[in-house]
Amino acid sequence: MSGADLDDRETVERLDPEGLLARIEALPEQCEEAWQRARSLELPAAHAGASDIVLLGMGGSAISGDIVRSLSAASGGKPVALVRGYDLPASVGERTLVIACSHSGNTEETLSAYGQAIAAGAMTAVITTGGRIAELASDAGAPVFAYEYEGEPRSSLGHQLMTLVALGERIGLLESQQAAVAEATALMREQRARLGYSARETQNEAKQLARRLRGRLPIVVGAGVLTEAAYRWKTQFNENSKCWAIAEQLPELDHNSIVGFGLPDVSALHAVFLRSGGLHPRVLLRYDATADALEDAGVSCEVVDTPGESALARVLAAVFHGDLVSYYLALLYGISPSPVAPIDKLKARLAES
């Protein structure tokens, strides 16, 4: 067996002194607690009349916006745009609601875009632990939905997502998500019993997948709301496993990427298809056809089926599964999954400019 022993608790104690495993496995409780808190949040009445919504975020603070945007598209809510960068769309004006998500409150791109929202006279709100963005919002008289969390931005998904979902209900962006949240937390608890660290590798599909991915380049494919989960898998491989990864979307990849499946050397590739119910039947047909095309090109691949009746439950179950796989892959590479030294180094350099 190559790599670390994934059933040996000493491996976790040695490689994860920061305790990331506990934070990953606590996502069901984080979502549940954050949802209960978010249900009591209040928005100015005018915010519900917004004509369109713009969400701001970077890195681990953007994934919740990805998910809510996808949920809104499926439920026929108001137009939603997600900005990952310094500048707002020129269309933002007084009838736009801009919601900024920044775990630290000091993300420079989000601060820039939020300042532009204030200047444009847009309605605004902020989700954060504090920092400069909370100060800007308070000065502008905008609501600040603050949460307390000791951990990485990518590990605070539940706090930001549940707050956005609750606000989405208030402004008519989403239908009631109460049942979906209950389903999602129950599903993730069930997954934790099967896929968490206490479940031995011989019976643990997440550990087994991580071992198959060791030394390979992960290509994660999703469709519908699982497109957002596929991207989360990609970024968690980057930050937790410290490795390259690629995210692809069906049916789009069948119109371009499929032509390049055979080159260059594909022996280091392994594709993971995230699949669930609720997808368009023609898209489901494309899963099998695309997997066959990959195998014809010599690329190994497999399917991870995601449970859940509601879209929110399906995407969170897929996210939880991927978070665990990325953690186990870090252990197999013999590295600490929590630190992100290259990001810290880049931020320090930019702070000097």
Mean pLDDT of 226-252: 98
Mean pLDDT of 44-52: 93
Segment 137-156, tens digit of pLDDT: 999 999 999 999 999 999 99
Q: How many CB atoms lie within 10 A of CB 94?
A: 11
Mean pLDDT of 44-54: 94
Segment 92-106, tens digit of pLDDT: 999 999 999 999 999
When mean pLDDT is compared across 179-183, 212-216, 240-244, 343-347, the lowest value belongs to 343-347
Could you tell me the pLDDT band of residue 243, with boundaries at 50, 70 and 90? very high
Q: How many CB atoms lie within 10 A of CB 154?
A: 24
Whether the predicted pLDDT of 1 surpasses 60: no
The pLDDT value given to residue 2: 64
Which residues, 6+ apart, have CB-to-CB distance to 25 below 8 Å? 192, 196, 197, 324
Whether residues 163 and 32 share a domain: the answer is: yes
The pLDDT value given to residue 41: 87
3-state secondary structure string across the chain: CCCCCCCCHHHHHHHCCCCHHHHHHCHHHHHHHHHHHHCCCCCCHHHHHCCEEEEECCHHHCHHHHHHHHHHHHHCCCCEEEECCCCCCCCCCCCEEEEEEECCCCCHHHHHHHHHHHHCCCEEEEEECCHHHHHHHHHCCCCEEECCCCCCHHHHHHHHHHHHHHHHHHCCCCCCCHHHHHHHHHHHHHHHHHHCCCCCHHHCHHHHHHHHHCCCEEEEEECCCHHHHHHHHHHHHHHCCCCCCEEEECCHHHHCHHHHCCCCCCCCEEEEEEEECCCCHHHHHHHHHHHHHHHHCCCEEEEEEECCCCHHHHHHHHHHHHHHHHHHHHHHCCCCCCCCHHHHHHHHHHHCC
Domain tally, the chain: 2
Could you tell me the pLDDT band of residue 4, with boundaries at 50, 70 and 90? confident
Is 148 a residue of the active site? no
Whether residues 144 and 281 share a domain: the answer is: no
Position 4 in a domain: no
Whether the predicted pLDDT of 323 surpasses 80: yes
The pLDDT value given to residue 74: 74
Whether residues 122 and 59 share a domain: the answer is: yes
> Is there a contact between 147 and 122 (Cβ–Cβ < 8 Å)?
no
Whether residues 324 and 205 share a domain: the answer is: yes
Whether residues 157 and 54 share a domain: the answer is: yes
Whether residues 42 and 159 share a domain: the answer is: yes
Could you tell me the pLDDT band of residue 75, with boundaries at 50, 70 and 90? confident
Whether residues 168 and 225 share a domain: the answer is: no
Whether residues 128 and 162 share a domain: the answer is: yes
| Tokens at 142, concatenated | 């905008």
The pLDDT value given to residue 245: 98
Report the alpha-carbon distance of residue 269 to residue 293 in Å, rounded: 14
Position 207 in a domain: yes
Whether residues 140 and 254 share a domain: the answer is: no
Torsion of CA 168, 170, 171, 174, to 10 degrees: 40
Whether residues 235 and 317 share a domain: the answer is: yes
Range of the domain at 37: 24-176
From 32, 152, 183, 239, active-site residue: 239
Q: How many CB atoms lie within 10 A of CB 317?
A: 24
Q: What is the pTM of this model?
A: 0.96
Whether residues 139 and 223 share a domain: the answer is: no
Whether the predicted pLDDT of 66 surpasses 50: yes
Is 207 a residue of the active site? no
Is 255 a residue of the active site? yes
